[in-house]
Structure formats: C-alpha cells, structure tokens
Amino acid sequence: MRRGQCGTITIWVLGLTVAVLFLSGLGVDLWHAIAARREVSLMADTAATAGANGVDETALRGGRLRLDDGRVRALVAAQLAQYPESARLVDERVAVDGVRVTVVLRERVRFSLLGIFMGPGDFTVQARATAEPEEIP
C-alpha cells in the first residue's frame, strides 16, 4: 500500500453506499407514487361510473336524457365513502355537464427513503375520470 492512500477505499465504498441508498430511495418512492396513482384512478373511475347513474327521472320521462346534479354528487360521495383510502384525498371535484360527469381526485404522497436526502416533503398524484349514461332503446 502506498503512503497517503490509507482509507481511500473506505471513502470510495462510503460514497458508493450513499449513491445506492439514493437510487433505492428513488425507486421505492417512484413505486409508491405509481401505487397511489392506481388507487386514486380506481376511485375516480368507480365514482364517475356511479355518478353517471344519477339520471334526472323527470327529464327522462319527458324524453330527454339528463343528469341530476344533486343526485350525481350524492352517488359519487357514497361511492368514495366505500374506500378507506378516500380519507387521504386532499381534493375531490365533481363536474356535471349535461349528460357527462367528470370526477377529479388528488392525493398527496409523502417521500419515504428519498426524504433522507430531500428533507420532509410530498408530491401530488391526480386522476380524472369521465362517464356518461348510455341510453339503450
């Protein structure tokens, strides 16, 4: 071993360990975000589909297909209440446009291993789903 090189391998391995820890943290947080996005997307899809059942019966008897805003919102809220994960949602938007219902949901996901390097923080995942009733003759 040469003089002056004592401990260089230790420093090199320490740097490599920090790099591997950072990359694994990035991977874990990325998969955590993907899983959260899938959950939020599932909730938005089922809520929009449930909301599309909120047909205005009076208008339907008159020969027009139209959604009842209050009924749609109640059906969406009831559907989201079935998911325990819905308590983590930070924003829920329901828009009714004639015969189309659009549900937009947002959830904040906290950093896990990446928080070691970046400090405490979070990022937002969002899902949007649109549904409309289909008239069957």
Spans of all domains in the chain: 8-131
Q: Which two tokens stand for residue 33?
A: 């975000």
- Tell me how far apart the 2 most distant CA atoms of the chain are, in Å: 95
What pLDDT does 117 receive?
67
What pLDDT does 116 receive?
66
Q: What is the chain's percent helix, strand, coil content, to nearest 5?
A: 50, 25, 25
Mean of the pLDDT values across residues 6-21?
84
Cα dihedral across residues 42, 85, 107, 97: positive or negative: positive
Q: What is the DSSP letter of 109?
A: E
What pLDDT does 79 receive?
95
Q: Is the pTM of this model over 0.85?
A: no
User: pLDDT tens-digit profile of 58-77?
Assistant: 787 888 888 889 999 999 99
Task: Please give the Cα distance from 55 to 65 (Å, whole number).
Answer: 7
User: pLDDT tens-digit profile of 106-135?
Assistant: 999 887 766 666 777 788 899 999 999 887
**Helix orientation angle between 69-81 and 8-51, rounded to the nearest 10 degrees:** 140
